[in-house]
Amino acid sequence: MSSIQDVYAEELAKLVHHYQGALAGDFGCEEPEKAGDRWEETSENQRKLMITATRLALMELASAGQRRSNADYFAKPGEADWGC
């Protein structure tokens, strides 16, 4: 059974793959049809690599967002107001 995060990572990896191929020619890279073909034609290992890299990037972004969010609740060292 896969989690929603796994599905989201796979969908995002598919989109990145699609846009990378679509934009490759605009950036002087290989022609789009040579750059990556369709997602379904990409090797299973390459798809797994892209999905795993996307999942790790999403986890890192979520972690960074959590750290920023926590920073709003806790005083920096030496800045806490003490008193009752």
Tell me, what amino acid is at 77? P
Task: Note down the domain range covering 47.
Answer: 4-62
Instruction: Spell out the per-residue pLDDT of the chain, length 84, in tens.
Output: 456 667 799 999 999 999 988 898 899 987 655 545 789 999 999 999 999 999 999 989 888 877 666 556 667 777 766 655
Residue 76 maps to a domain: no
Of 59, 45, 54, 56, the C-alpha closest to 20 is 54
Distance of alpha carbon 5 from alpha carbon 58, whole angstroms: 9
Residue 78 maps to a domain: no
| Total of domains in the chain | 1
Residue 20 maps to a domain: yes
CB atoms within 10 A of CB 18: 14
CA angle at 69 for the pair 66 and 74, rounded to the nearest 5°: 115
What three-state secondary structure class fits 10?
Answer: helix
Residue 79 maps to a domain: no
Residue 73 maps to a domain: no
Residue 50 maps to a domain: yes
pTM: 0.65
Residue 83 maps to a domain: no
